[in-house]
Chains A and B, each alone.
Chain A
Amino acid sequence: MAVGLASGRPFLMIAYILKRLLIGAATLLLASAVVFAVMEVLPGDPAQVMLGMSATPEATANLREQMGLDQPLMWRYISWVGGLLVGDFGRSYTYSAPVSSLIAERLVVSLPLALMSLVLSTVIAIPVGIFSAARRGRLPDSIAMGTAQLGVAIPNFWFALLLIYVFAVGLQLVPSGGFPGWGGGIWNGLKSLILPSVALALPQAAILARVTRSALLDVLGEDYIRTARAKGLPRGRVLRRHALRNAMIPVLTILGLQFAFLLAGTIIIENVFYLPGLGRLVFQSITQRDLIVVEGVVMLLVASVIIVNVLVDLAYALVDPRLREAA
């Protein structure tokens, strides 16, 4: 029933945005508690764990004090979260450097890598998905979807090895690993990120293309598509003007999920290509038991996933007017 529905209702839209932001903030807070708790329940004394069994009691006690482990639990959590909010992630034991500067150093590698792969996978996948849906059941569709099916099955680190073998070892077009830094020119930096981003992007693109296609096909079966066709609009125009926007909802969902996959993927891919990024940092810190670094980087990655998902929720409301009122 549409009884008494004003058309604009901006406060419903604002309520929707506020609710999403609140949920995001609450999730963030909970996530920080989880990360903190996981570090806390680790078997044994964190200082001992970090230093190993051979450490002297004095060194351990020293580290405990330095880490603030003698403080009450709640206080440590609050001061940790408080520190995070002002960008103080603590101090790495193994690197003897502030975690924030370690992160900043690595971010200049990981962020471009993540963005490049996200852009790459989106610009490949969505057009392919649309193309396939428009030619459903015909040869081009079968070829595109067969390739996508294969792409989904390929582990990205194996794909990375193949890329290295062909383009770095064989054709010698790009370096096979390592990162020269941005100091030696943008192109040099970019060149060493090409293969990693392709390796990360392609399996993602395969999934995204399949989702785009099937979302479009679902929408193309809807009654309102028939209504649009009955207006005399040609198929292509109906697809662009009516189907695409409705199909964006599942596509956005997958994009949001893929961001998390992408971050996780960097751990392996940065290891394959010896890239000094966040993924490699967290992996090395875990194996070296540098828990302060692990805590900080994990929190940063989790926070970015949560923020991206809040953005996806807000994008839903842009796409679908019904959600704007479902506060």
Chain B
Amino acid sequence: MSLLEIENLTLSIGGASILKGVDLSLEAGEVMAVVGESGSGKSMTALTLMQLLPPGSKTGGRVIFDGQDLLKASEADMLRLRGDDIGMVFQEPMTALNPVKTIGEQVAEGIRWHTRVGRAEAEQRAAAMLDRVGLPQSKFPLSRYPHQLSGGQRQRVVIAIACALNPKLLIADEPTTALDVVLQKQILDLLRDLVEEKRMGLLLISHDLAVVAEMADRITIMRHGEVVEAGETSAILQAKAHAYTKQLAEASAHVPSVRVAAAPKTTPSLATDAPRPLLEVQSLSREYPGRRTGIFSREAPFRAVRDVSFSVGHGQSVALVGRSGCGKSTLARVILALDRPTGGSITFDGQRIDILPDAKLRAARRNMQVVFQDPYGSFDPRHRVERLVSEPLHLLENKPDRDERRTLVETALEEVGLAASDMEKYPHEFSGGQRQRLSIARALITKPKLIVADEPVSALDVSIRAQVLDLFADLNARLGVAYVFITHDLTVARAITDDVLVMHDGEIVERGPTGAILDNPQSDAAKALVAAAPDLDRALAARSRTKRAEALRPISG
């Protein structure tokens, strides 16, 4: 009998139907990936298993776990199962741990509660478990508090909590979405090892096929609260029988078509053979004062960006790639003159902008615009689109009158594939992808020569991400806008940039044409990024290799 058998599961919250007859099964020791975009109901399926649904939820169908129907289980039964037979890992490691309790207390708590062992023994087991997830006592004693750990380390603690009692079923809800690719790989490797070691069933929930392709035995693809397709991983991904599966698979390795066509075009390389680069950054540094450690002592200043030099030509698009915390966003802010450098120079369009006072930056700002990551936070929720998109017009020397302004906004909206009538709407009336288009329209309205884009697609679902990347590529080809594209995702870099700069610990450690670097990285930082990047084809290839190896292995008891 299966470890977990979900039959015709329905869920409605406050009258809204969330799950519409979901079927899913999981064997002991098996890894099942549930893949879907936002709103597919994948996370709610997980919370249903834990019976941790928000108030006002109504469920139907059957969820048989280990011979027991969880939908009919009493709260007392669930208390026994949660944390003991079913463990759960959540998406957001920064908030998943109680800030006022030590990691030792938080791991030991479940052990003590379920096994009734004494404090000392529970702590001993917690220490062993933390050691197993890569947090050895020598460096991470039980007395550490969550705020003293990084995001990846915190996620390890959450995993330790979930796996402390060797559950039969582990549910991981987007466990790596908040982490950069290198951490993502480390955490996924850890989960896979733990699952094998303890023979747990793993329900791995993700929005990205490429992330799960390598480790899932089987995949269930969900959309709008329904199962679209389910089956063995390689079969599903090779056949791509269902249109939606195909769409997801293609979107996750998307290269804009304009780009493909334009690829051979002569791009000015990073070398200084071009007459005059649009943007020239020389030995740029940005330091922050160190934390105070005593009344008179401070830690050494934190150098977020150190001695960075590069240039971007007209119409060129450059990716700035690196792990979270490598200084790439700081660099972007300094270039945008939202933050000031502590050393070096920035020359934009023939003008030293790092030494200009704010009031004299108008010309530079007009030619250099920005697109941010968060499509929800990028707009003042109280203003209409017309006002939001026209905000940079403030920079023009001759302020356009109302009609001219509307015409300009109209043009910009059409440029990014939105309708002129959208001008009257408020930002909350748009989806995430549409808002990112609005963001681009706002950046375009002053006809800039350069757009700095800080992780512009990483908050979007894969299929939307592909569309927005297409738009970026298209604008580059048609309008000749240059980009500085900041990202931790190599697929994105590959999709739309000519050159790539790899950043690590505030420094540029490698640079060159995007294709060359990604295919043949030299520095450790670049290698780690490339190796960790989720790649559907590579994952499939790896799978078939292991499959073949398994097939060749002599069958033993």
Contact = CB atoms under 8 A, between A and B. Distances in A.
B36 to A, nearest CB: 21
A1 B97 contact: no
A37 B161 CA distance: 60
A232 B80 contact: yes
A54 interface: no
Interface string A223-259: 1101111111110010001100110000000000000
Contacts of B114: 232
A246 B90 CA distance: 20
Contacts of B162: 230
B119 interface: no
A224 B145 CA distance: 13
B100 A246 contact: yes
B294 A231 contact: no
Interface in B92-133: 92, 95-101, 106, 109-110, 113-114
A105 interface: no
Nearest to A219: B98
Contact of A322 (B145, B153, B161): B145
A15 interface: yes
A230 B90 CA distance: 10
A12 B161 CA distance: 29
A234 B109 CA distance: 12
A231 B82 contact: yes
Contact of A230 (B52, B101, B147): B52
A233 B113 contact: yes
A5 interface: yes
A12 B149 contact: no
A242 B88 contact: no
Contact of B98 (A9, A224, A325): A224
Given A7-B143, A223-B96, A231 B148 contact: no
Contacts of A232: 78-84, 110, 113-114
B292 interface: yes
Interface string A7-37: 1110110010011000000000000000000
A57 interface: no
A7 B82 contact: no
B87 interface: yes
A321 B147 contact: yes
B378 to A, nearest CB: 24
Nearest to A318: B100
A242 to B, nearest CB: 5
A187 B538 CA distance: 84
Measured as residues with beta carbon below 8 angstroms from the partner, the interface class of chain B is 35 or more
A322 B97 CA distance: 13
A176 B285 CA distance: 74
Interface residues of A, number: 34
A2 B110 CA distance: 26
B95 A18 contact: no
A1 B87 CA distance: 27
A15 B98 CA distance: 24
A319 interface: yes
A212 to B, nearest CB: 17
A218 interface: no
A45 interface: no
B150 A1 contact: yes
A1 B325 contact: yes
A169 to B, nearest CB: 48
A246 to B, nearest CB: 6
Nearest to B299: A4
A116 to B, nearest CB: 31
B97 A224 contact: yes
Contacts of A7: 141, 143-144, 148
A327 B79 contact: no
Contacts of B78: 232
Given A5-B148, A7-B144, A231 B83 contact: yes
Contacts of B52: 226, 229-230
Contacts of A65: none
Contacts of A237: 113
Nearest to A137: B55
B139 to A, nearest CB: 10
Interface centre among A223, A227, A327, by most chain B C-beta atoms within 10 angstroms, is: A227
A227 B158 CA distance: 8
Nearest to B144: A7
Interface of A: 1-2, 5, 7-9, 11-12, 15, 18-19, 222-224, 226-234, 237, 241-242, 245-246, 319-322, 325, 327
What 10 A-B pairs are tightest by C-beta distance, nearest first?
A232-B83, A231-B83, A232-B82, A231-B110, A223-B95, A224-B98, A321-B145, A230-B88, A322-B147, A5-B148
Interface of B: 50, 52, 75, 78-84, 87-88, 90, 92, 95-101, 106, 109-110, 113-114, 141, 143-145, 147-150, 153, 158, 161-162, 292-295, 325
10 contacts: A15-B292, A19-B295, A224-B99, A226-B96, A228-B109, A229-B52, A234-B75, A241-B109, A246-B100, A321-B99
